[in-house]
Structure 1
Amino acid sequence: MSRADHMDVAAYALGVLDTQDAERFEEHLATCWACAAELETMVPVVGLLSGIDGETMMALEQTHTDPALLDRTLMAVRRDRRRTRLRQVFATAAAVVAFGALSGVGFATVFHDDRQFQQADPAPTVPTTAPAPEPKSSGPGIGDPAGVEGEQHDATDPGTGVNTTMFLVGKEYGTEINVRLTKLPGPRTCRLLVVRKNNTSEVVSTWSVPGGGYGTSTNQLPLELTASTAAARDDIAKIQVQSVDANGIATPLVTVADL
């Protein structure tokens, strides 16, 4: 490769080569690390030169013979750049004010320097009143009984007055039991007992009842909970809600039998 190829770096960086010479130099550049490194150092210089017009270049050439002309030229360039920068600031400020007028947002005074010039006033807010939330049942709810899948079984104990609605759903792992209890007084500790047809039993859930109870005159909300048992649906004989005292003695409150 000739020395001329190495001398084309500046011409290529400034974009003065014709198409054929540019392609030839690019082929040379792909294999010459020295030219590639020199080209990389010229990129910032080319960026600076791109901001200088032709008239300024001609004036700078004349300053080689007239030092006073160099000073006047540099001062003129600085003034021109300062005016350009201020025009950009004013244009941006005008755009911000126009945006504020369209969006209904008020803006503070615009400063004529390089600091942040936009300060938005908070838009007035209109207070809204959200609707009061509907009361929800306590515990993991089963919701509206009409919308629950499974076998529905209702029972009321004539002695305790406790009322229950249970939904039994057969699962691969056994049986899911959704329970709804009302007229359940408190305070007390309760448990849910599953009795199989082979007379074995299993406690599948326990809970505490507050003093106001559930589904009572003090607390009208029912207790809703979900429990599971490994027993298959066809193996369950009855399900019973029991009250357990401090000594661990269980007393039936309500029973769903003949399952």
Structure 2
Amino acid sequence: MCTPPHRRDVGAYVLGVLGAADAFRFEEHLEGCPLCAGGVVEFGGVTAVLRRYARLTPPGVDPVVRAGPGLVLRATRAVAAGRRRTRRRRLAVAATVAAVVLTAGVPFAVPGGEPEAGRWTGADGGSGMTAVVTAGAREWGADVGLEVAGVPDPGVCSLVAVGRDGDEETVATWSSAGAGEGPLQVSGGAALRPGAIARFEVRTAAGRRLLRLTR
């Protein structure tokens, strides 16, 4: 059952401020709660932006403001409200970009610039798992959409972007029901721009790679 404390813990879990014991209990709840799993996906873009902010912070400067315990709760509620207001517009733009990419079959690029969109695919003949990722460039990085089917085992899965320099970012997290589940569509965000992404990987919560997606 999804309770108000569980919904409150969604933002804290994604931001990494839950203790080890609380995080473990929340992950157990996440495996059987599509509502909280969707909330985790909603916050995927926030963590990507925060990681980029931390990387851009000058050496010797603490990027984290130490404030009262209510700050995280107020911040996550404000972010969730803002993302709900812009979700439809963002998904419409992502769908348009995906349609262009799927029609052309190659990344769309502006003359003299880096690719503004990209498409990565992967399939595992053994498990039957397949996935397609499309990514559109944004000023903060990339808006990412995933369609995945045939995840072999139930549990929490993550989509990880691997940069050309080896840098890794978790783009989205969701809960899978296992092999009998139909195709799922998941959205997220990355601080890496599409042209800087070498590949994507679908991994279990324990870090085991289930699928590798390449251009």
| TM-based fold match above 0.5 | no
TM-score (normalizing by structure 2): 0.44
Structure of higher CA gyration radius:
1
Q: Whose strand fraction is larger, Structure 1's or Structure 2's?
A: 2
Flag the structure with more relative contact order, 1 or 2, with Cα contacts below 8 A and sequence separation at least 6: 2
